[in-house]
Amino acid sequence: MAESYRRIVLASRPHGWPSAENFRLEESSMPVLGEGEVRVRNQYLSLDPYMRGRMNDAKSYALPQMLNETMGGASVGEVVESRSSQFAVGDTVRGMLGWAEYGVSKSEGIAKVDTRHIPLSAYLGVVGMPGMTAWYGYNKIMEPKAGETVVVSAACGAVGSVVGQLARIAGVRVVGIAGGPEKCRYVTEELGFDACVDYKTAADAKSLAGLIAAAAPKGVDAHFENVGGDVLNAVVTLLNPFARVAICGLITDYNMTPGHVPKSAIMNPGMFLVARFKMQGFIISDHLNLWPEGLSALGGLVAAGKLKYQESVAEGLAAAPAAFIGMLKGHNFGKQLVRLY
């Protein structure tokens, strides 16, 4: 066992967009395992938009990321040392071991994963937190019925791609919103969405609404929001009576300089009365009790080849900050990962 390992810590808090200087790669000495603890060698790290919120020192649903501590986040890897009766060396596990080559966890903080039918990395995506996020928002907030029309933003991403495929499988018309012709082609041709709107071709919320309306001629019955900004404001104007809007992310605003009006400010509040719609924010970690049900459903679809997914993989720990910043700008294609070995 090596005597030290590398990790990335939060060096400073960003104002607006994060940059490489907000992170620091450092070498730390390998801690001794306590009774009941397990050492995991991380093979893949998950990079997720919610991490940007945690980099601020602001009230939110999670505590802020601590300065000079390992950047938190989900990971998958292999048990390399165990003082727990529940885990043996060689087990493949998922946990929250952060941006580091190795991590230590109590046994309740990690879970074994079965890689016989599903690749290890997928436990950070389609059968991990992003997949569960999609499954929860789709089934518990959007609740679409066959024949309805739904819209999902960041349609090519780890969450949006699952939302749209769940809709397609259920016979619900689904319109994706994504940035650029390549992503839109993937969304319709590979994932089977009925239509995809390239938001980069729209000048403002109004013209974007026109493009979405053309793809959703019967109006919008449910919407899954990952992005916010013009996308959210465009969709709100198209909602049918009793529509449901699941707010999963508002990535447009995450890098806003404090004091500015958020681009996701909802400019047409009267639609709440015209369409009597529901808008509901959610965080999947509030619903851990539903993970067995959701993961079982998602795992079955993946193993059967009915649920496709795409990964963007950055190589090596040092690549994590740039990959993270790129993801916030939409440079990723599907789930953004970092591979460590």
Instruction: Name the site residues for a copy of itself (rule: CB under 8 A).
Output: 53, 59-61, 228, 232, 241-242, 247, 249-250, 253, 261-262, 264-283, 286
CA distances from 310 to 37, 75, 126, 147, 190 (A): 33, 17, 9, 27, 10
The burial of 309, by beta-carbon neighbours within 10 Å (0-12 exposed, 13-18 middle, 19 or more buried), is given as buried
How near is the Cβ of 278 to a copy of itself at its closest, in Å? 4
Q: How far apart are CA 178 and CA 249, in angstroms?
A: 15
When the beta carbons of 162 and 275 are compared against a copy of itself, the nearer one is 275
When the beta carbons of 181 and 281 are compared against a copy of itself, the nearer one is 281
Q: How far apart are CA 107 and CA 128, in angstroms?
A: 18
How near is the Cβ of 58 to a copy of itself at its closest, in Å? 9
How near is the Cβ of 299 to a copy of itself at its closest, in Å? 26
How near is the Cβ of 185 to a copy of itself at its closest, in Å? 30
When the beta carbons of 38 and 132 are compared against a copy of itself, the nearer one is 132
When the beta carbons of 41 and 244 are compared against a copy of itself, the nearer one is 244
| DSSP 8-state assignment for residue 31 | P
CB 280 within 8 A of CB 272: no
When the beta carbons of 45 and 239 are compared against a copy of itself, the nearer one is 239
CB 8 within 8 A of CB 321: yes
How near is the Cβ of 53 to a copy of itself at its closest, in Å? 8
Q: Where are the alpha helices (DSSP H) in 26-147?
A: 50-54, 129-136
Q: How far apart are CA 110 and CA 7, in angstroms?
A: 19
When the beta carbons of 242 and 341 are compared against a copy of itself, the nearer one is 242
When the beta carbons of 113 and 243 are compared against a copy of itself, the nearer one is 243
How near is the Cβ of 115 to a copy of itself at its closest, in Å? 32
Tell me the β-bridge partners of 335.
311
Q: How far apart are CA 83 and CA 95, in angstroms?
A: 17
CB 154 within 8 A of CB 251: yes
How near is the Cβ of 263 to a copy of itself at its closest, in Å? 9
